[in-house]
Amino acid sequence: MNSAQLTSKKKKIIRDIYPVLFAHYGPQRWWPGETPFEVCVGAILVQNTNWKNVEGTIAGLKARGLLSCEALLETPPERLAQMIRPVGYFNIKTKRLRNFLLFLRQRCAGDIRALVRVPWPQARAELLAVNGIGPETADSILLYALAKPVFVVDAYTRRLLIRHGFREEGRDYSSMQALFMGSLPSDVRIFNEYHALIVRLGKDFGRDAPDRRDYPLKERKYFLSVRGRML
């Protein structure tokens, strides 16, 4: 098999996994937040943390009427840090959140939706320039807050790829993103749902999922396991 055929086969695998996940889990209706601003706050707070820990924290901020750019900026950092304690890394996340809020106020007059009219590669670069916003956080904001056609990659995505034999593509963020974006139509709805489904799958199986990283992709039929169902 030449490299072009292998690439084509890999793309097909990426395309084929999606309908299987969708059929099994149904629509996930992401992002689990009400406003674009809430998406941004959640994306920062959830970094390397259980989403459950973030949910309650955001609800608390909302209940206190603090879930806005200006209100959060007016909150003393020490106080903010105490309020977001449950998300873990609360000191560093306080700084990261404030860095984002300062960017938001200065660049968007406090409204992230101002970036909707900016071409997404530029908006992405601007977000990445904020200390504390890395590729996944930036892409989550672009896709789920601004509806830009950007695929979000995360730890679950890496695990899924490695388990399906994508050792080369799974080596770093941009490679994984290129694999998905190069295999799928550039459709916000699909990118939205696919990433959410991968997270859902990951939460179901965690690290207990079958792991066949030693099987070369070209020598076997790929598989996807959903509650014992193998492909």
User: Binding to DNA (CB under 7 A): which residues in 157-186?
Assistant: 172-173
Minimum CB–partner distance for residue 91 and DNA (Å): 3
Instruction: Choose which of 7, 35, 53, 68 interacts with DNA (CB under 7 A).
Output: 53
User: Binding to DNA (CB under 7 A): which residues in 101-130?
Assistant: 128, 130
Nearer to DNA, 34 or 70 (CB): 34
Q: Is 34 in the site for DNA (CB under 7 A)?
A: no
Q: How far is CA 202 from CA 96, 136, 163, 199, 208, in A?
A: 26, 16, 12, 5, 10
Minimum CB–partner distance for residue 86 and DNA (Å): 4
Residues 6+ apart with CB under 8 A from 221: 231
Nearer to DNA, 67 or 199 (CB): 199
Nearer to DNA, 11 or 126 (CB): 126
Q: Is 52 in the site for DNA (CB under 7 A)?
A: yes
Q: Is 32 in the site for DNA (CB under 7 A)?
A: yes
**Segments in 26-172 forming alpha helices (H):** 36-45, 51-63, 69-74, 77-83, 90-108, 120-128, 135-140, 155-163
Crossing angle (nearest 10°) for helices 155-163 and 173-183: 70
Peptide bond between residue 120 and the one before it cis (omega within 30 degrees of 0): no
Cβ-contact 160, 208 below 8 angstroms:
no
Cβ-contact 99, 77 below 8 angstroms:
no
Overall size of the chain counted in residues:
231
Nearer to DNA, 203 or 220 (CB): 203
Crossing angle (nearest 10°) for helices 188-205 and 155-163: 80
Q: Is 59 in the site for DNA (CB under 7 A)?
A: no
Minimum CB–partner distance for residue 12 and DNA (Å): 26
Q: Is 156 in the site for DNA (CB under 7 A)?
A: yes
User: Binding to DNA (CB under 7 A): which residues in 60-99?
Assistant: 85-86, 88-93
Cβ-contact 127, 138 below 8 angstroms:
yes
Q: Is 203 in the site for DNA (CB under 7 A)?
A: yes
Applying CB under 7 A, the residues found at the interface with DNA are: 30-32, 42-43, 46-53, 85-86, 88-93, 128, 130-138, 140, 144, 154-156, 172-173, 199, 202-203, 206-207
